[in-house]
Amino acid sequence: MSETPARAPWQTHVITLFPEMFPGPLGVSLVGNALAAGQWTLTTTDIRDFGLGRHRNFDDTPAGGGAGMVLRCDVLAAAVDAARASTPDLPAICLSPRGEPLTQALVRELSAGPGAMFIAGRFEGIDQRAIEARNLREISVGDYVLSGGELPAMTIIDACVRLLPGVLGAEASLSEESFEQGRLEYPHYTRPREWEGLTIPDILLSGDHARIAKWRRNQADALTSQRRPDLVGTNRKP
């Protein structure tokens, strides 16, 4: 009987002005354990290494005027090209508030692939020509603005790594999480049975697994309708 070949490590490559930020929180807990075990890899490229002139300039003022600075297309493209030389098969993602929204479906798509390359912008952004010429996929982690793309990159990496086989442990827990079935997750309870006048719902202590499952679905549906009506009817399983 032939054995299933082991999956190659899921690769990440982050192009950033601040490589010292990594692995940061990605180096602890389950994701950190998976990194130490070789289930995924992390490489960083410092944009400053490709800066121009004695001062290694990597940004300039916006064409047409305006506040802030913009990362130069020639400098960033050189960093992307160098990163691709070492990890050529990774999709290149530019973290941007104007990008397509990050969803659990997109996380599953990325996690199922060989890995991802992340371009972490700073300041006012990066020259549009670098995005177009290097075919960068723009992704947003939410409708807000951060100081740079490093934290969004960590968010996506964390979300993807925890889906890798063997990282989280219990596969069933993954299928019941928020967004996996088009609904938010139901409430959880544990000991003590009573705390500050609040008790665990009796049905969860009944031992009737069919009724418990139905209660959890109803709770998840109610929470989704109340808090995220935009999810109602999307990828919903009975």
Using CA atoms, how far residue 32 sits from 18, 26, 94, 162, 173, in Å, is 19, 5, 24, 10, 20
Place of tokens 């499952």: 213
Query: Residue 172 corresponds to which tokens in the numbers above?
Result: 């069933």
CATH code of 176-231, in short, is 1.10.1270.20
**Angle formed by the axes of helices 150-161 and 104-111, to 10°?**
70
3-state helix/strand/coil string of 115-171? EEEEECCECCCECHHHHHHCCCEEEECCCCCCCECHHHHHHHHHHHHCCCCCCCCCH
Distance CA 171, CA 89 (A): 28
pLDDT string in tens for the chain (238-residue length): 445 457 899 999 999 999 999 999 999 999 999 999 999 999 999 999 999 999 999 999 999 999 999 999 999 999 999 999 999 999 999 999 999 999 999 999 999 999 999 999 999 999 999 999 999 999 999 999 999 999 999 999 999 999 999 998 766 455 555 566 778 999 999 999 999 999 999 999 999 999 999 999 999 999 999 999 998 876 545 5
Q: Taking the domains of the chain in order of start, what are their residue ranges? A: 10-161, 176-231
Q: Do domains 10-161 and 176-231 have the same CATH topology?
A: no
| Pairing outcome for strands 59-60 and 115-119 | unpaired
Residue pLDDT, tens place only, 51-72: 999 999 999 999 999 999 999 9
Please state which architecture CATH assigns to domain 10-161. 3-Layer(aba) Sandwich (3.40)
Q: pTM score, two decimals?
A: 0.90
